[in-house]
Amino acid sequence: GAGVSQSPSNKVTEKGKDVELRCDPISGHTALYWYRQSLGQGLEFLIYFQGNSAPDKSGLPSDRFSAERTGGSVSTLTIQRTQQEDSAVYLCASSPQPGETEAFFGQGTRLTVV
Amino acid sequence: QKEVEQNSGPLSVPEGAIASLNCTYSDRGSQSFFWYRQYSGKSPELIMFIYSNGDKEDGRFTAQLNKASQYVSLLIRDSQPSDSATYLCAVTPDSNYQLIWGAGTKLIIKP
């Protein structure tokens, strides 16, 4: 596609429910990043994919968070048993190669846990 | 622990003046340096990148890199109210590593 696409753009869910967030990176980009950003805060790194593998999962806040990437393309971030503190904007970015070139961001998914 | 530090601000600059944003990084072997701008409620977008020591100019923006002192700065000349945003510094410790991000500096340009 023309840019990084994330869906849904907004998600309101009840505490305790599972949610899936989707990221469709720019075609051909091998590196994919997930970040979380709370209101007025900086980017919190969650996970990084190089192709389908995740060399760095160190940012996942708890075992309720998981992510996968298939076919070197689409990635899904799953949050199980959501909590109110999970409420944030979840941003996905992709780049042609890890770290050397510009990372392009999607518009984000705003998750609200009520 | 690889770190990137920025002053959170807010940094208030009068319209037409030069805004100077600074960023320091901990990994001496870092190779690539990026400045992103993020408007409130929007995603970050790239302003400039720099790989080599010295200055790199693009329009009203100049990135400055000093690897010996481990800092990178962004100068915005003739600041405009539309430059008001949060500016994020990102660094790549090596070519096969993910970006390390600073927390961002909020810049306010006063008309």
pLDDT at B97 over 70: no
Residue A84: strand, helix, or coil: helix
pLDDT number for residue B19? 98
Give the rounded percent of residues in chain A with a pLDDT score beyond 70. Answer: 96
What's the CA gap between B89 and A6, in Å, rounded? 23
pLDDT at B95 over 60: no
pLDDT at B37 over 60: yes
Subunit contact B95:A100, Cβ cutoff 8 A: yes
Q: What is the mean pLDDT of residues B67-89?
A: 97
| Nearest Cα to Cα of residue B21 among B53, B47, B51 | B47
Cα dihedral A95→B40→B6→B12 (10° resolution)? 140
Among the partner-chain residues A56, A100, A106, the one whose CB lies closest to the CB of B43 is A106
Subunit contact A45:B101, Cβ cutoff 8 A: yes
* Tens place of pLDDT per residue across chain A (114 aa): 579 999 999 999 999 999 999 999 999 999 999 999 998 888 898 998 988 998 888 889 999 999 999 988 999 999 999 999 999 999 999 988 766 678 899 999 999 999
DSSP label at residue A102: P
pLDDT number for residue A99? 63
A→B contacts (Cβ < 8 Å), by residue, are 31, 33, 35, 41-43, 45, 48, 50, 55-56, 91, 97-103, 105-108
